[in-house]
Amino acid sequence: MAARHIRTRLAIYLAAIVIIIVWSPYKQNWSADPGVYGRELLICLGFGILGLTAPRIQVTGTLRRAMYGSLIVADMILIPLAYYKVAAMIGVFAMLPNVLKARQKHYGPYAILRTVVLPVPILFITVIASGRPGFRQLGVSYYVATVAGYMGHIIAEEKGYSE
């Protein structure tokens, strides 16, 4: 049972890595600047960690405080720099877990479906931030990283429940 879960998680992470590696150069018309590429990968890693830890944000603890602390820091940087749209989106995302009931919305039989649906707004963060609509402007790599992290967490939790 455990081996099957590990294999599933590995397959998800590998698929996500492939999509992320391909999407970034595609977004830049296959002329990837190494600096931009590296930055993209770092941001994707951040989104992956966000997805991996997001379900735990509903449970009181150090991780919850750390996540909200990082969101406050992000807001404190974005608001003075006048990135109001992104800061407003962060505010909405930060409020959502407080409205949902713990371990009822993030976990359960439809959890995998939710891992795909809930992070959808991340797709549009880059479109909103740049103000330029277009397919290449979509935050596909960020979305995929978040979904992979989130799915990994849910699969690991389901294993925990089944044992």
Partner 1 sequence: MAQRGLCESTVRFRGHVTVGIFTYFIAVIPIAAWILYRQDWAVTELWRRWWELLICFFLCLLGAMVPDTDIRSKSQQVIYSILLAADLILILLGYYRGAAILGFWAIIPNILPHRGPLHSYLAAIIIPAPLLFLPVIATGKLEYQQLGVSYYIATVSGYMSHLLADIRIMDKR
Residue ranges in contact with partner 1 by CB under 8 A: 58, 60, 64-65, 68-69, 71-72, 75-76, 78-79, 84-85, 87-88, 90-92, 94-96, 98-99, 101-103
Smallest distance, Å, CB 83 to partner 1?
Answer: 8
Contact (CB, 8 A) for 143 and 119: yes
The number of beta carbons lying within 10 Å of the beta carbon of residue 40 is 21
- Complex with partner 1: residue 5 or 114, whichever CB lies closer: 114
Alpha helices by DSSP H, listed for 28-137, are 34-53, 62-78, 84-99, 111-117, 120-130
Residue type for position 97 = P
Contact (CB, 8 A) for 87 and 78: yes
Nearest CA among 10, 21, 27, 64 for reference residue 44: 21
Smallest distance, Å, CB 119 to partner 1?
Answer: 18
- Complex with partner 1: residue 29 or 101, whichever CB lies closer: 101
- Complex with partner 1: residue 103 or 132, whichever CB lies closer: 103
Smallest distance, Å, CB 22 to partner 1?
Answer: 33
- Complex with partner 1: residue 43 or 79, whichever CB lies closer: 79
